[in-house]
């Protein structure tokens, strides 16, 4: 059992395959007694994964910035609510709460979260895994960018020391168990 943070889009108008992956991952988390740690928003993939975790009798920790709460967008599927001031606070609280991080498809916020956690690991603030769930090749361009940075010598270690890639739920399960 682990606390698993999931970074993902709060957009409702994205590919159906991303919602299917979020639903499958949420069911996996709940049925394996993992606790979902997430942004607590009632939109997009965030709401989808929280609902499916809940339906599989799992628990969730929602880390909710004041702006989301002010707008009435806090998910009804949050079991434990942690309020925070802003997105910077949210990332730190999520790093403190989670044992592992998984990134479903997402935008700027998701990228910010991935790279904050990975950069913190390079400085030995933690040794927690960051897994890109590469649904339908969503993260391929990000992986190509990381490979390019690697080839230019601006990274001390290979990016795979901080960021792992999984193309299926089976691969995620294997990485969680390692």
Per-residue pLDDT tens over the stretch 139-154: 999 999 999 999 999 9
What is the pTM for the complete model shown? 0.96
Q: Show Cβ contacts of residue 119 under 8 Å, excluding neighbours closer than 6 positions.
A: 162
Continuous segment of H or E residues that includes residue 19: helix 16-31
Q: Would you mind telling me the total number of residues written for the chain in this entry?
A: 178
Spans of the chain below 50 pLDDT: none
Q: What is the pLDDT of residue 69?
A: 79
- Which sign does the torsion angle of CA 22, 28, 78, 119 carry? negative
Distance CA 134, CA 35 (A): 21
| Strand ranges in 49-90 using DSSP code E only, listed in sequence order | 59-65, 80-84
Quote the pLDDT of residue 157.
85
Q: Quote the percentage of the chain above a pLDDT of 70.
A: 100
Give me Rg for the CA atoms of the chain: 15
Residue 164 in 3-state DSSP? Answer: strand
Per-residue pLDDT reduced to its tens digit, 59-85? 999 999 988 777 778 999 999 999 999
For the segment(s) 3-177, the CATH number from 3.30.1780.10, 3.30.70.330, 3.40.50.450, 3.40.50.970 is 3.40.50.450
| Separation CA 48–CA 95 (nearest Å) | 22
């Amino acid at each position: 059992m682990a606390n698993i943070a999931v970074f993902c889009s709060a957009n409702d108008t994205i590919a159906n395959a991303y919602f299917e992956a979020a639903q499958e991952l949420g069911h996996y988390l709940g049925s394996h007694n993992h606790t979902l740690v997430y942004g607590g928003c009632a939109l997009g993939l965030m709401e989808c994964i929280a609902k499916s975790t809940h339906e599989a009798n799992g628990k969730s920790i929602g880390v909710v910035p004041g702006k989301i709460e002010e707008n009435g967008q806090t998910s009804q599927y949050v079991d434990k609510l942690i309020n925070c001031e802003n997105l910077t606070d949210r990332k730190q609280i999520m790093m403190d709460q989670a044992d592992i991080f998984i990134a479903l498809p997402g935008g700027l916020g998701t990228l910010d979260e991935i790279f904050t956690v990975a950069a913190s690991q390079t400085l030995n603030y933690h040794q927690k895994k960051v897994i890109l769930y590469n649904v339908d090749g969503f993260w391929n361009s990000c992986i190509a960018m990381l490979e390019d940075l690697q080839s230019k010598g601006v990274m001390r270690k290979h990016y795979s020391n901080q960021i792992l890639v999984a193309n299926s739920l089976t691969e995620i399960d294997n990485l969680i168990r390692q």
